[in-house]
Chains A and B, each alone.
Chain A
């Protein structure tokens, strides 16, 4: 277990998992076989079907956002008021990750290592969602104006979760190593921060002990896609 995280969070995750086991069984409307193996196969099939459905949903979201970008740009040409408003909204979209972003930046690569002989080495060689989250945080700290993980854009509402080596960001599918985490922004600032010994200390330690892959390169022109996750606002409203 990652020594940085209190053991109580493992208990919390197990409690969540048990509660969701009950909920998921009802929601998936499966006739649950008595046999555990058959039950596992049924759950895998259900997960695969849902994942395919979500993949189609994400494609649709991406296509709709691209069409909206195009139509709004065209409509804005017909009116100076629309053009000014379009420019304002475009800046807001960038911050929200709702539009592609390109520019100089840095790509950090994380890869699984190899199991070690010690107790911690049984799992510490695997890149987890916490590692990915740490790198995302460092990129923003170093001056990134936008970040994406394996092609999935980070938004102001992005959450990180995962089990084992599978990482889910917001409404992304499960992502596996190797991870490419790209930040567009202050390339020099980001690289200088990454080079500091105290930064990403746990990953650096596991790199030495278990061969976890950690490296980065700068680039003059990176492109981050728009988010394919939901940005819907239902409960929060302006006073």
Chain B
């Protein structure tokens, strides 16, 4: 209980500081930047509202007060977290972007970031599942992702909102086509994209929840 109280107090301080930062960040912004920000704020609100609804439903189920309700809520959460943590194969609507180019670690991280900005719920690069926190570094002859060497041609597979992902893939493809390093780039949208790759669970060694 003590840790929860301390964390909630911390969240309050962070929120107050964040309001001041919002004020400061808006000062001097041009109309294009503000419009970009407003659209992002709308999408943030949509996602947070959906999350609040899910968490409230889970809370109501638990407040029913019996162990079976707790087990049902926990099983639902486990299925969701297994997907978020990259621990289970998944499928769903999405895009597959193929890039034939000698990409660097920075290029790969930028591509992954663009895909996440489009709301991707699961991502695979070549045959590897990746999450924010996957280690992407340059190495002799290419890029190493979580200790495994990868190289051209690159395949980025993402599952999520097909409209947002398609828009992101289109923009990325157009940008990459202007890059002299890029030999070829293409993408396809599909109602069912499969991501069979999974990550291994990483038990805590240093931290405690």
Residue of B nearest to A227 (CB): B51
Number of cross-chain contacts by CB at 8 Å: 352
Chain A residues within 8 Å of B52, by CB: 57, 60-61, 64
Residues of A37-54 at the interface with B, using a CB-CB cut-off of 8 Å, are 39-40, 43-44, 46-48, 50-54
Q: Give the contacting residue for A55; candidates B15, B56, B131, B206; CB below 8 A.
A: B15
Give the contacting residue for B109; candidates A21, A48, A133, A230; CB below 8 A. Answer: A133
In which size bucket is the chain B interface?
A: 35 or more
Most buried by A among B15, B26, B44, B207: B207
**A217 in the interface (beta carbon within 8 A):** no
CB distance from A44 to the nearest CB of B (A): 5
Assembled-state Cα–Cα distance A177/B149 (Å): 35
B-contact bits for A1-36, CB 8 A (1 contact / 0 none): 000111011011001111011011101100000001
Taking CB atoms, residues of chain B closer than 8 Å to A27 are: 38-39, 42
A152 to B132, CA, bound (A): 14
Contacts of B19 in A (CB 8 A): 51-52, 55, 173
Cα separation A45 to B1 with both chains bound (whole Å): 39
Chain B residues with CB under 8 Å of A24's CB are 34-36, 38-39, 42
- The reply to whether A67 and B11 contact each other, CB–CB distance below 8 Å, is no
Instruction: For B32, give its contact among A17, A48, A136 (CB under 8 Å).
Output: A17
B27: min CB distance to chain A, Å = 8
* Inter-chain contacts of A175 with B (CB < 8 A): 18, 21
Contact assessment for B35 and A63 in the assembled complex, using a CB-CB cutoff below 8 Å: no
Complex interface: chain B residues within 8 A of A200 (CB): none
Q: Which one of A109-117, A120-128, A156-164, A206-214 is at the B interface? A: A156-164
Contact present for B59 and A71 (CB under 8 Å): yes
13 cross-chain CB contacts under 8 A: A40-B31, A47-B37, A102-B207, A140-B134, A145-B202, A156-B133, A158-B132, A171-B48, A174-B25, A175-B21, A232-B54, A234-B121, A239-B194
**10 A-B pairs with least C-beta separation:** A75-B70, A156-B131, A79-B67, A103-B207, A151-B14, A92-B81, A57-B48, A159-B116, A230-B47, A174-B25
